[in-house]
Amino acid sequence: MLRSFLLYLSERETPKNLMMKSSLGRRMAARFIAGDSLEDAVRAVRQLNGEGFDATLDQLGESVHAAAEAEEACRIYLGILDRLAAEGLRSHISIKLTQLGMAMDESLARRLLAKLVERAALLHNFVRIDMESSAHVESTLRIFRLVNAPREVLGVVIQSYLYRSEKDVDDLVQCGARIRLVKGAYQEPKEVAFPRKADVDRNFVKLMEKLLSSGLYHAIATHDPRMIAATRAYAKAHSIRPDQFEFQMLYGIRRQLQRELLRQGYRVRVYVPYGKEWYAYFMRRLAERPANVLFLLRNLFRG
């Protein structure tokens, strides 16, 4: 119930305005957000690289309402790619296609994504298309296929809580796509998504096994110790080396677990979000693990 309520709040303007103007809200979000500026994000990536982690940078924002906003988002991401190359940082970029205007004009989003992919290829980097709510899945996958970039330059995300995801994984693996597997963080109707966590987890394991056995390089994105244990066990049983896939985890969440996986020889990439439009992202993080609400409040008031 708390998860549903937090996801409901993530889409509402009134609590968003209250939270973003509140010093308490900004302090709470700081655990999950690298900062407001690219400088903050670069500093975080530099530190993570120094500790042995790879990263992927996300300039927060989604669902732009004008072509000029989509063009500006593309310009910002081109600048991020240039900055990462100039500093020699080990970081990809992650982007939501609604940031590039997909909800208004798919051809615009396709054109801007192609620009990003061209720059990433030139700089030997990688673009990951984040998956959004189920309403955007079909158009996201359509644009991914139409851009048809080299697979070492462009990848996509699949969410295990959607019924359709097994077929999507089969189709994407067939065309050599690199996939980040996640559970999913949006409020979805039972007509399109598993309502029970146990079913989401079961599907996650099934899809993880498909990905690891595909022979392609994929990312298993989870903080769930049971999903991590299942991934490690499957990889070991099928002689899949730790350098043939990577774990991905979120900035500020289960840092000790991230370090432990790194010590055990696994590749770990940390998803580093930054920017002033942090509210929806922050609320979805709380909804994924509602115990985070009490944890954050306890630490804030203790401080």
List per-block mean pLDDT (blocks of 10 residues) for the chain, which spans 303 residues.
62 68 73 92 98 97 91 98 98 97 97 98 98 97 97 98 98 98 92 96 98 98 97 98 97 94 98 86 72 56 48
Per-residue pLDDT tens for 14-27? 766 666 677 766 77
Per-residue pLDDT tens for 39-78? 999 999 999 999 999 999 999 987 899 999 999 999 999 9
Say how far apart CA 268 and CA 249 lie, in whole Å. 7
List beta partners, residue 248.
221, 269
247-276 burial code (b ≥16 CB/10 A, e <16): bbbbbbbbeebbeebeeeebbbbbbbbbbe
Say how far apart CA 71 and CA 122 lie, in whole Å. 20
User: Is the entire prediction scored with pTM above 0.95?
Assistant: no
- Of the candidates 131, 127, 70, 74, the one whose C-alpha atom is nearest the C-alpha of residue 102 is 70
Structure tokens at 266: 């696994």
Say how far apart CA 90 and CA 267 lie, in whole Å. 12
Structure tokens at 296: 């954050």
Helix (H, G, I), strand (E, B) or coil at 97: helix
List the Cα angle 276/282/284 in 5-degree steps.
Answer: 135
Q: Tokens 């993530």 — which residue? A: 10
pLDDT score of 303: 45
- The four Cα atoms 72, 77, 82, 84 give a dihedral, to 10 degrees, of 150
Beta carbons of 198 and 161 less than 8 angstroms apart = no
Query: What are the distances in angstroms from CA 94 to CA 61, 150, 200?
Result: 11, 16, 23
pLDDT score of 213: 98
Residue 245: Cβ within 10 Å count: 21
pLDDT score of 292: 61
- The four Cα atoms 271, 276, 282, 284 give a dihedral, to 10 degrees, of -80
Say how far apart CA 269 and CA 155 lie, in whole Å. 15
Give me the active site residues, please.
130, 180
Q: Tokens 């990688």 — which residue? A: 126
Beta carbons of 144 and 178 less than 8 angstroms apart = no
Q: Tokens 């019924």 — which residue? A: 163
Q: What are phi and psi of 272, to 5 degrees?
A: -110, 105
List beta partners, residue 262.
none
Number of Cα atoms under 13 Å in the Cβ half of residue 49: 16
Structure tokens at 25: 């809200």
